[in-house]
Amino acid sequence: MSPDFLYAVEVLLNGLMAGVMYSLVALGFVLIFKASGVFNYAQGVMALFAALTLVGIMNGQVPFSHLINAVFGTSVHEFGWHVPALGAIALTAVVMVIFAFLVEKLILKYLIGQEPIILFMATIGLAYFMEGFGDLMWGADIKALDVGLPKGGSIWIEENTAWLAAEGSRFFGFFIDKLDVSATLVAVVLVIALTLFSQYTATGRALRAVADDHQAALSVGISLRAIWVITWSIAGFVALVAGIMWGSKSGVQFSLAFIALKALPVLMLGGFTSIPGAIVGGLIIGMGEKLFEFFVGPLIGGATENWFAYVLALIFLVFRPQGLFGERIIERV
Amino acid sequence: MYYREAGDFKTSYRADQQNFPIRFDRIHFWVMMALAFGVVPFFINDYWANAVFVPFLIFAIATLGLNLLTGYCGQVSLGSAGFMAVGAYASYKLMTSFPELNFFVVILLSGGITALVGTAFGLPSLRIKGFYLAVATLAAQFFLVWLFNKVPWFYNNSASGQISVPRREMFGIPITGPETAASTKYLVCLVIVFVLGFVARNLTRGRIGRSWMAIRDMDFAAEIIGVDPLRAKLSAFAISSFYIGIAGALFFSVYLGAVEVGEAFGINNSFLILFMVIIGGLGSIYGSFAGAAFLILMPVLLKNVLVGGLGWPSDLAAHLEFMIMGALIIIFLIVEPHGLARLWAVTKQKLRLWPFPY
Amino acid sequence: MKSLKIAALAVGAVALAAPAFADLVFPSLSYRTGPYAAGGIPYADGYQDYMTLINERDGGLGGEKLKVVECETGYNTQKGVECYEGTKGQGALLYQPLSTGITYQLIPKSQADEIPILTMGYGRTSAANGAVFKYVFNFPANYWAGASGIVNHLLDINGGDISGKSLALVYHNSAYGKEPIRTLEELSKKHGFSVTLLPVDHPGQEQKSQWLQIRRERPDYVLMWGWGVMNSVAIQEAANINFPMENFIGIWWSGSENDVRPAGAAATGYKAATFHNVGKDYPIFDDLQKYVFDKGMTAGAGDQIGTAIYNRGLYAAMMAVEGARKAQELAGHAAITPQEMRDGLENLEISEELMNNLGMPNFGPSFKVSCSNHGGSGDVGIQQWDAAAGTWSLISDFAPVDMEVIQPLIEEDSAAYAAEAGVEVRSCN
């Protein structure tokens, strides 16, 4: 096979896996949008906050140390212990549940029945708050995150695919990042778990009932507010997973909040209400933007990925205004 | 006591149709204008102009523009900063290519160019609605920023990739460039804001504004009663972009003086303008000003209180600033989802009856 | 009226922050928040710690206390303007904006307000031409010197011949990232190497395409002009494709501990250009320990001491203080004005002897500023990361760069600026 073709395949594979990383973020959006109709802009910041908390717990950092030191003139920074990764993940999950509870208690409760744009704005307010809060709690410096996931290109795949091209051509085997592979596995497990949860547990069915029709769900005795806490907790957990994956890649720092911007075109394409849509959308966006950068990028100067993802989603939308898997928007006249 | 319409009779259609039907409002408005035009310019200094008044006025224009689109026509856009960039680069190219051109003409033309671009990016709105459209407008945001960064023609091939405003004068007084006096900057912006505010107010109560509102409230129904959605939506995009383009041109030429597209017209500003619209009140001219004032003044105020007043370390103050801003936005939405404009309207309602509640 | 009330409150707040004029005021436009906080924190810490040291150890400068007014910009141009206007009235002597965007804002203003600005290793490169930029200084090195310094290093390790070699430049797709392109193109003509350009869009969390391309094309060397999260992702990706780290060289803004740590051991061998020395093995750190840290007067959390960017902040403060010292000497009085500060900077001479006296031997290149040359010597060194030890080490000392190539570029760009902005070029003889 010609090297050029193999390069394209390599770009495509990597695009698919980058897409999985986008999907991880998009999943959280979809969960919340389905259950409560809230377009949760704070999802990216939640991922940042979860990752910060995870690193903080693992390293035994004292939360709010800077504030405490500034107010009381002390100099405390660390507890001096290290929590193993799994324990820290469990603790962080607990923190995210508390967070979900607080969001419901302090914000959503008061905004039931408001217009979608108002709810959207409220989550932007929440995002602002969390940006400041996360930094205040754990500090704004960059933190390395290592929960023991393998990193780096897989030599095995490289060696076992190098024969695909003729001897002497400039092809070195496929490059597959081990972290991407683990992210893909995690995403698969996550989606299966979410599906099982929503299909086979009572809570899961209640979630789906709420997603279908708030009023009908209320009338059969499902507590809307409890369901919202559960949804936000699950979204918080998804944010934690996304935070771990992205944080392992780049270190945990403020820019993690921007991954929300990579998830938006995925959402548009897949539809705001569909979990499979988030996955398929992610794959299409990841693949599309990487292939565009590969084929067209060099001709027009590169760095096209940011806007091309949106343009791609836009093109799809023109043909299907509710996204690939979104619910058809039915309007009463 | 003062604020009431009793005895304020209208004897002609003209009087009945005026912008401020209540005399107290009218007086109030003209007093404010007199203060803004006649008093503030004499007391303004560099700090007040550059940190508070000029950004407030410029963002008020952008907020007006977005409010026409989002508040009156119901089309949510997150591409405002991208359109501001169009205005800024248009004004830069016009000013450097035609040095003789009057500054106000440049500003108007920049708005016009932005209107064209905005209309083009408004085309998907004919098919896409709601959040899908909001996210779709981000395509404009990212693409425009990328374009201005990528094509050297836009920044006259300068090695730095930044654009700097050339010095322009009017009646011998510099109005752009570093020598511009604080009061000049303020007055230039104020005049433009005044005119644009007046136009916006009258647009929204005329035929075109009513067609926008019909589309916003129910597009099918609007179509049935004879509103052409294509014209209504695209005209909303065009006029909104015109305003935002003017805001961008002023932002560059009068306020900052030198910009780099990714930094000055990043997505943060798009969100900021949308915030202003919603905090101020969707579909309200007064709200546009109130929202812009709130979001420009609040951070400056918080910073001065926390760092200057209480002497806190600047980073703690900055974190707290974020938290307070976020909390305030949420509290506002909980207390009054319809924004400052509604709060003001409620206050006025109470004032009418005051001091007798019935 | 609500807005009136807010305005009244704001007036009160500003009045509260009324300045005391007696001290030598050095505003520090820092960013301890936002996407670039990791780089802004150590810099601001270093800057302030040095000033504290001068106050505590020497009782100030010529009897005048130094006062650092910190103002948070969040790397945001609008906030930068607010900071500038807010601190200007407090008698600011010198601005070090620490952001290219804010620098471009301030360049025209510096002329109008007659307050000097110093941009060490960032900002507008052609400001090195003092004849055009009277109030702007960018010693000791700029981006073009950085590019040339890196190429010189490559010449060194290749025995003086890099013709036929291929270079790839991974850069932040912004004005900052595009800075070295012109210089590299000129140098490639001179030395016969080729350059591939790989832009990365802000913020740069996803760089798979760029690094797959590098993996395909196997350039001999990769250069990086990155900032923020882009750096750590790039180094991680380079490690992922097993790119030899010693052939991967960043500019100084891509050369901090924050950038290499997330990649762990794989980052060993990564190089970066620098214009100041690394580590804390200098007498001045003993003084800092004694007069600042032990007294609990550290500016930040105290965990950044001796990191690359902390040292840069320290170095920047040292320049400011030496400039002020010179200014006091020339003016003959201690309470200098911004104009006198400018004269001081223009006559600044950083010699080895001076650095020895300051307890910072060989901390940076020695150079002399003059009326026509506001850029210093442009000497650039190379530092290398050792992940096991967790330290940078200077592997190539500060060496002159190819001014033959850079000077015409500076002349050309500053002339263009002078024409565009209508600046009168002063004569420097």
Least confident window among A79-83, B192-196, C165-169: A79-83
Question: In whole angstroms, what is the distance from residue B233 CA to residue B214 CA?
Answer: 11
A67, closest residue in chain B (CA to CA): B316
Question: In whole angstroms, what is the distance from residue B84 CA to residue A113 CA?
Answer: 34
C-alpha torsion sign, points C326, C329, C330, C332 = positive
Residue B89: how many other CB atoms lie within 10 Å = 27
Note whether C400 and C366 are same-domain residues.
no
Note whether C157 and C55 are same-domain residues.
no
- Report pLDDT for B310: 73
CB-closest option in C41, C201, C208 to A140: C41
Q: Do B136 and A314 touch (CB under 8 A)?
A: yes
Q: Do A321 and B313 touch (CB under 8 A)?
A: no
Residue B312 lies in a domain: no
Note whether C212 and C247 are same-domain residues.
yes
The reply to whether A250 touches chain C by the CB within 8 Å rule is: yes
- Report pLDDT for B5: 65
Domain count of the fold of chain C:
2
Question: In whole angstroms, what is the distance from residue A149 CA to residue A244 CA?
Answer: 10
Strand partners, A154: none
Question: In whole angstroms, what is the distance from residue A114 CA to residue A77 CA?
Answer: 43
Cα pseudo-dihedral B17, B19, B20, B26, rounded to 10: -120
3-state secondary structure of C119: coil
Question: In whole angstroms, what is the distance from residue C118 CA to residue B67 CA?
Answer: 42
If contacts are CB pairs under 8 Å, which of residues 230-259 in chain C contact chain A?
A: 232-233, 236, 239-242, 258
- Report pLDDT for C5: 47
Mutate to test the interface with A, among B126, B135, B310 (most CBs of A within 10 A): B135
3-state secondary structure of C166: strand
Phi, psi values for residue B146, rounded to 5°: -60, -45
DSSP 8-state secondary structure symbol assigned to residue A254: G
Contact predicate C176/C169, CB 8 Å: no
Strand partners, C67: C25
Chains touching B, CB cut-off 8 Å, 3+ pairs: A, C
What is the percent of chain B with per-residue pLDDT over 70, rounded to a whole number?
97
Write out the residue range of the structural domain in which residue B189 sits: 22-266
- Report pLDDT for B4: 64
| Closest C-alpha to B317, from C70, C418, A91, A202 | C70
Per-residue confidence at C311, pLDDT binned at 50, 70, 90?
very high
- Report pLDDT for A329: 60
Residue C350 lies in a domain: yes
pLDDT tops 50 at residue B110: yes
Note whether C257 and C397 are same-domain residues.
yes
pLDDT tops 70 at residue B121: yes
| Contact partners, residue C117, CB within 8 Å, separation at least 6 | C94, C95, C96, C97, C103, C106, C107, C110, C123, C135, C136, C137
> Which chain C residues are within 8 Å of A172, Cβ to Cβ?
215
ipTM: 0.89
Sort residue C72 into left (φ over 0), alpha (ψ -120 to 50) or beta: beta
CB-closest option in A15, A153, A302 to C240: A153
- Report pLDDT for C81: 86
Note whether C173 and C251 are same-domain residues.
yes
Note whether C93 and C171 are same-domain residues.
no
The reply to whether A307 touches chain B by the CB within 8 Å rule is: yes
- From first to last of the 333 residues of chain A, give the pLDDT tens digit: 788 888 889 899 999 999 999 999 999 998 888 887 888 889 999 999 999 999 999 988 888 887 887 777 777 777 777 888 899 999 999 999 999 999 999 998 888 778 888 888 889 899 989 988 998 888 888 888 888 888 878 888 888 877 777 766 777 788 888 888 999 999 999 989 988 888 889 888 888 888 777 788 889 888 888 888 999 999 999 999 999 999 988 888 888 888 888 888 998 888 888 888 899 999 999 999 999 988 888 888 878 888 899 999 888 888 887 778 776 665 544
Q: Do B159 and C409 touch (CB under 8 A)?
A: yes
Contact predicate A30/A39, CB 8 Å: no
- Estimate to the nearest angstrom the gap between the alpha carbon of C47 and the chain centroid: 12
> Which chain B residues are within 8 Å of C79, Cβ to Cβ?
299
| Contact partners, residue A168, CB within 8 Å, separation at least 6 | none
Domain count of the fold of chain B:
1
List, for residues C55-71, the tens digit of each pLDDT value. 999 988 888 899 998 88
| Closest C-alpha to B318, from A132, C6, C397 | A132
Note whether C45 and C129 are same-domain residues.
yes
Q: Do C215 and A172 touch (CB under 8 A)?
A: yes
* More reliable by pLDDT, B148 or B13: B148
List, for residues C318-365, the tens digit of each pLDDT value. 999 999 999 999 998 888 999 999 999 999 999 999 999 999 998 999
Chains touching A, CB cut-off 8 Å, 3+ pairs: B, C
Note whether C102 and C114 are same-domain residues.
yes
Output the pTM of the full model. 0.91
Write the CATH number for C150.
3.40.50.2300
Highest mean pLDDT among B1-5, B12-16, B137-141: B137-141
Peptide bond into C140 cis (omega under 30): yes
| Contact partners, residue B245, CB within 8 Å, separation at least 6 | B83, B84, B86, B87, B90, B110, B111, B112, B113, B114, B115, B117, B118
> Which chain A residues are within 8 Å of C228, Cβ to Cβ?
255
- Report pLDDT for C3: 47
- Report pLDDT for C20: 44
Write out the residue range of the structural domain in which residue C261 sits: 143-274+381-407
For B73, B150, C166, C176, C202, the CA distances from C199, given in Å and listed in that order, are: 39, 10, 17, 12, 10
Per-residue confidence at C273, pLDDT binned at 50, 70, 90?
very high
- The label of the residue with tokens 């507010």 reads A225
Residue B160 lies in a domain: yes
Domain residue spans in chain A?
36-260
Contact predicate B124/A317, CB 8 Å: yes
C-alpha torsion sign, points B147, B150, B156, B160 = positive
Note whether C157 and C108 are same-domain residues.
no
Phi, psi values for residue B157, rounded to 5°: 55, 20
CB-closest option in B164, B293, B314 to C72: B314
**Residue A29, Cβ density class (10 Å: 0-12 exposed, 13-18 middle, ≥19 buried):** buried
The reply to whether A133 touches chain C by the CB within 8 Å rule is: no
**Mean pLDDT in chain B?**
87
Question: In whole angstroms, what is the distance from residue A234 CA to residue A193 CA?
Answer: 11
> Which chain A residues are within 8 Å of C218, Cβ to Cβ?
170
| Contact partners, residue C426, CB within 8 Å, separation at least 6 | C131, C134, C371
| Closest C-alpha to B117, from B82, B166, B92, B150 | B82
Question: In whole angstroms, what is the distance from residue A256 CA to residue C229 CA?
Answer: 9
> Which chain B residues are within 8 Å of A67, Cβ to Cβ?
316
Q: What is the mean pLDDT of residues C260-284?
A: 91
Note whether C292 and C374 are same-domain residues.
yes
**Mean pLDDT in chain C?**
87
| Contact partners, residue B101, CB within 8 Å, separation at least 6 | B94, B95, B109
Strand partners, C200: C172
pLDDT tops 50 at residue B40: yes
Scored b (16 or more CB within 10 A) or e, C246-270 reads ebbbbbbbbbbbbbbbbbeebbbeb
Note whether C373 and C387 are same-domain residues.
no
Q: In chain A, what is the straight-line distance between the N-terminal and C-terminal CA atoms, in Å?
A: 58
Note whether C214 and C249 are same-domain residues.
yes
Strand partners, C393: C384
Mutate to test the interface with B, among C78, C144, C202 (most CBs of B within 10 A): C78
> Which chain A residues are within 8 Å of B127, Cβ to Cβ?
317-318, 321
DSSP 8-state secondary structure symbol assigned to residue C22: S
List, for residues C221-235, the tens digit of each pLDDT value. 999 999 888 999 999
How is B210-270 classified by DSSP, letter by letter?
HHHHHHHH-HHHHHHTT--HHHHHHHHHHHHHHHHHHHHHHIIIIIISEE-HHHHTSHHHH
If contacts are CB pairs under 8 Å, which of residues 53-92 in chain B contact chain A?
A: 76
Per-residue confidence at C19, pLDDT binned at 50, 70, 90?
very low
Per-residue confidence at C18, pLDDT binned at 50, 70, 90?
very low
- The label of the residue with tokens 């270190």 reads A251
pLDDT tops 50 at residue C280: yes
Peptide bond into C35 cis (omega under 30): no
Question: In whole angstroms, what is the distance from residue B286 CA to residue B341 CA?
Answer: 6
- Report pLDDT for B3: 63
Strand partners, C380: C399
Q: How far is B221 from chain A (nearest CA, A)?
A: 7
Question: In whole angstroms, what is the distance from residue C283 CA to residue C285 CA?
Answer: 5
Mutate to test the interface with A, among B141, B217, B294, B329 (most CBs of A within 10 A): B329
Chains touching C, CB cut-off 8 Å, 3+ pairs: A, B
- The label of the residue with tokens 């932002």 reads B251
Strand partners, C272: C250, C383
pLDDT tops 60 at residue C7: no
Phi, psi values for residue A65, rounded to 5°: -60, -40
Residue C312 lies in a domain: yes
pLDDT tops 90 at residue B325: no
List, for residues B200-222, the tens digit of each pLDDT value. 999 998 899 999 999 988 888 88
CB-closest option in C199, C229, C264 to A301: C199
Strand partners, C95: C117
Contact predicate C50/C285, CB 8 Å: no
> Which chain B residues are within 8 Å of A141, Cβ to Cβ?
none
